[in-house]
Structures are given as structure tokens and as C-alpha cells.
Amino acid sequence: MTRTDRLQGLGLVRLVGRDYAVTEIGWDKFTALGLERSTLESARRHLARRCIDWSERRPHIGGAVGAALALYLEQQRWIRREGKTRCVHVTAQGGRGLWEAFGFHWRG
């Protein structure tokens, strides 16, 4: 099960066609994290694009929501980037934060 599968299982997003849609439950959660719905919905990029990870070849949430979540995770120091690459690593603090915020364990 991927992290995106877990977000779907929690009812935060759902697959609609080729992309994801954020549910009202999802907006409640993301707003509580500080993501601004109106800003994300008015962004020029897709809202919640279903993207295939370049390394693991598994789907993840891209678009405005994915970028905002990634920025949030990085600002909380839950993830750290590997140099200037697209690789990220979950920190010990991030493992705890992901559990508390979303109820899943990270086994990297």
C-alpha cells in the first residue's frame, strides 16, 4: 500500500478519472495543516494530478495539492531533500508526524 492509497483509505482524496479529487474531509485535514483551499483551487497547475513516481513507478499526488503537501512536510522537517534532486527522505521526526497527522507508519 502506498501513502497515496492510505490518503484514499482515509477518505481525503479519491480517484476521479486520471486524477485525484480532494474530498471535503480532505480539505478539512489539509486546511488544518495550513494549506489554503482557495489558493490551491485557483492555481494555474492541476489541482491534484495523479503522477507516477519517477523512481518507484507508483502513483502519488502531484499538482497544486501535492506541491503544497511536499512544502508543508519539508517546512515541518518531516522530509529532507537529497541535494538538489527530487529524492526526499523521511526523517525520524517525520515518521512521528506522519503517524500523528495521517495514521500511517513510514518504513523507508
Q: Please say if the pLDDT value at position 56 is more than 80.
A: no
CA-based angle 41:91:49, to the nearest 5?
A: 25
In a domain, 107, yes or no: no
Per the DSSP assignment, residues forming a β-bridge with 105 are none
Mean pLDDT score, 11-39 = 95
Q: Is 41 helix (H, G, I), strand (E, B) or coil?
A: helix
Reduce the DSSP state of residue 19 to 3 states and report it.
Answer: strand
Predicted local distance difference test score (pLDDT) of residue 107: 66
Query: Has residue 108 been placed in a domain?
Result: no
The answer to whether residue 82 is domain-embedded is: yes
Report CA-CA distances (Å) from 46 to 50, 65, 99.
10, 9, 28
Q: Into how many domains does the chain fold?
A: 1
Q: Which range scores top for mean pLDDT: 4-8, 13-17, 103-107?
A: 13-17
Q: pTM higher than 0.85, yes or no?
A: yes
